[in-house]
Homo-oligomer: A and B are copies of this chain.
Amino acid sequence: MAKVDTSLIAHLPLFAGVKPEDLDEILREARSARYPKNTAIFEQGADAQSFFLLLHGHVRAAKTTPTGEQIVVRYVAPGETFGLAMAIGAAQYPATAMAVDDSVALIWPTSAWPRLIERFPALAANTMQTVGKRLQESHTRILEMSTQQVEQRVAHALLRLASQSGKKRDHGIEIDFPISRQDIAQMTGTTLHTVSRILSGWESQGLVESGRQRIILRDPHKIVVLAERNPDSGAA
């Protein structure tokens, strides 16, 4: 059994509606594993043998085209599940998962899923909610890519990262894991060059402070304004 204090994870969305005393039984089926920074957890196209609950660290889920281009599907924060391929009826993982920081996850074998949801229907319901939320986020992302220009999309992406994985600093919010310009480009459908130019511009206006794989939002409010500004209602 995984050596994890049940009290620390009982409140997670995945376990909503599960009796605390049942949690043990669920965790008994899991093991935990450590993934050092920059190691792959699973590869796109590989058989989905496990599903995961991230305990510590951060995981990047990315999808690759036949020609090698990548997009970042999402960043997984602690407390979130990932690798749910089997729950949605996929035999293979549709994306690659990589630890972007030293990470720890609970791992259940795919084969345990049918038994678990039969015994604890709340798990199925919670997972449905999670998948549904991700679907809506995807649609929002498509909407943004269709209607906004790059600067706005980058602003939205940073704000989301900040609210999901932001760490309060003296002045502003720092994104709590290493993230490159390239990564942000792959989240917003642009190129690292364009992201670099945008961040440079923001930096000179004091909106952000950034460096090697590191971004601090110095003035989140102004970034919100940027994110929402209608392109042609720009400053005089």
- Is the CB–CB distance between A145 and B143 below 8 Å? no
Q: How far is the CA of A185 from the CA of B133 in the complex (A)?
A: 26
The smallest beta-carbon distance between A219 and chain B, in angstroms, is 23
A139 within 8 A of B: yes
Closest chain B residue, CB of each to CB of A186: B146
- Is the CB–CB distance between B133 and A135 below 8 Å? no
Closest chain B residue, CB of each to CB of A231: B67
- Is the CB–CB distance between A94 and B145 below 8 Å? no
Q: Which chain B residues border A142 with CB–CB below 8 Å?
A: 71, 73, 138, 141-142, 145, 189
Q: With A67-B230, A94-B139, A124-B124 in contact, do A88 and B145 touch (Cβ < 8 Å)? A: no
- Is the CB–CB distance between B65 and A132 below 8 Å? no
Q: How far is the CA of A127 from the CA of B121 in the complex (A)?
A: 15
Q: With A128-B128, A145-B145, A189-B146 in contact, do A73 and B133 touch (Cβ < 8 Å)? A: no
A147 within 8 A of B: yes
Q: How far is the CA of A67 from the CA of B94 in the complex (A)?
A: 34
Chain copies in complex: 2
Q: Which chain B residues border A132 with CB–CB below 8 Å?
A: 84, 87-90, 131
A69 within 8 A of B: yes
Closest chain B residue, CB of each to CB of A185: B146
Q: With A87-B132, A89-B129, A133-B89 in contact, do A63 and B143 touch (Cβ < 8 Å)? A: yes
A136 within 8 A of B: yes
A11 within 8 A of B: no
Q: Name the contact of A71 in the complex, choosing from B84, B90, B146 (C-beta under 8 A).
A: B146
18 other A-B residue contacts (CB within 8 Å) besides A63-B143, A138-B138: A69-B146, A71-B143, A73-B139, A88-B129, A88-B132, A88-B135, A88-B136, A90-B136, A95-B139, A121-B121, A128-B128, A128-B131, A131-B132, A134-B135, A135-B135, A138-B142, A141-B142, A142-B189
Q: Which residues of A contact B (CB under 8 A)?
A: 63, 65, 67, 69, 71, 73, 84, 87-90, 94-95, 121, 124-125, 127-129, 131-136, 138-139, 141-143, 145-147, 186, 189, 230
Enumerate 11 A-B pairs (CB-CB under 8 Å) in ascending A order: A67-B147, A71-B143, A88-B136, A121-B121, A124-B125, A124-B128, A128-B128, A128-B131, A134-B135, A138-B139, A145-B146
